[in-house]
Amino acid sequence: MDIPPLAGKIAALSLGALPVSYVLNLVSALSHPLWVALMSALILGLLFVAIYVLSGGEISYDPLYAVFAIFAFTSVVDLIIALQEDGYVVGFMEFYTKEGEPYLRTSHGIFICYWDGTVHYLLYLAMAGAIHKRKRYRNLGLYWLGSFAMSILVFLPGNILGKYSSELRPAFFLAILYLLVPCWAGRRVFSQSRAPTCCTPNMVQEEQRKGLLQRPADLALVIYLFLAAFFTLFRGLVVLDCPTDACFVYIYQYEPYLRDPVAYPKVQMLMYMFYVLPFYGLATYALTFPGCSWLPDWALVFAGAIGQAQFSHMGASMHLRTPFTYRVPEDAWTCVFLCNLLYALGPHLLAYRCLRWPAFFLHPPPPDALADKKQQ
């Protein structure tokens, strides 16, 4: 997969978030939640106008260019919020975390800001650079789509269901609009053509003749998927207050963060159980039987989703903002960290396998194509 060049124009524009946030923090009128929401909407509107004036050609070629440019700006804002809450910078976004979205001051909020300000930011620059150079960005777009969707689908319900439900401000409704973005962006990303493969019909036929035991890497992935599916189901039952002794021991001695009243970990485990668990079953089928051409795309989507989710979950469960009684105990830290790390790495290895050796997942070639190839 070719990595497109980063968009320098978008990077320069996004760094404008530094002076803008500093100046707004000095304005005393922004101590009211309604003014915070209105000012945020106004800044995003002005930013869109500036992007349209500076990059009209790219937007007409692909409207997602404007989305990536605006989100690159908000990613810098999120990184400032995370650094500020951890004490690395002062005097930038206090007004927003106090009167706009106070739940961003939680450990989960801090880590989704870190992810958005680093991983998402680089993806936005890369995808905007690809649009500028008229190159494909389908694989990057699928990874971003999964990561962005998982972040929103856990964060918004967690705000409503958790202990911060009484502190929802008008700025929260701006975040709800983000739910529309994955639907529209996902449709455009999936509609892009796939990168051509170098697999000949004979290579596809030869690869698809092999059984699972003749493909040790796929066998290892299938074993991993079985174990990950069991872990997913187990943690889902834990947050649903399963009365078994194993669930009781796990939630109190290994991951007490699952009991945190902020509700983000509970929503996260339920998202895993209802969406990731079925995907693991379907992926096991696709690794066993050839011709499942949908797996490479969806492996990328779920790799992005689980990568973002595990980063936020692991970081929040060990962060100082999490009350001590809900943090991972020191004697179980190594075990919990390794289990969650493997849970995050597995989908990325699956996506890499699908992209690096795609012959097994391609549609079987028609007999006529093989006959013509032999004649040539």
pLDDT, one tens digit per residue, over 243-267 is: 999 999 999 999 999 999 999 999 9
Burial 257-288 (b: 16+ CB within 10 A, else e): bbebebbbbbbbbbbbbeebbebbeebbebbe
Per-residue pLDDT of 1-57, as tens digits, reads 555 666 678 888 899 999 988 888 887 556 778 888 888 888 888 988 988 888 878
Q: Give the pTM.
A: 0.92
Confidence band (pLDDT; 50, 70, 90) for 362? confident
Question: What integer is the mean pLDDT of 297-322?
Answer: 95
Residue 205 predicted with pLDDT over 80: yes
Burial 165-185 (b: 16+ CB within 10 A, else e): eeebbbbbebeeebeebbeeb
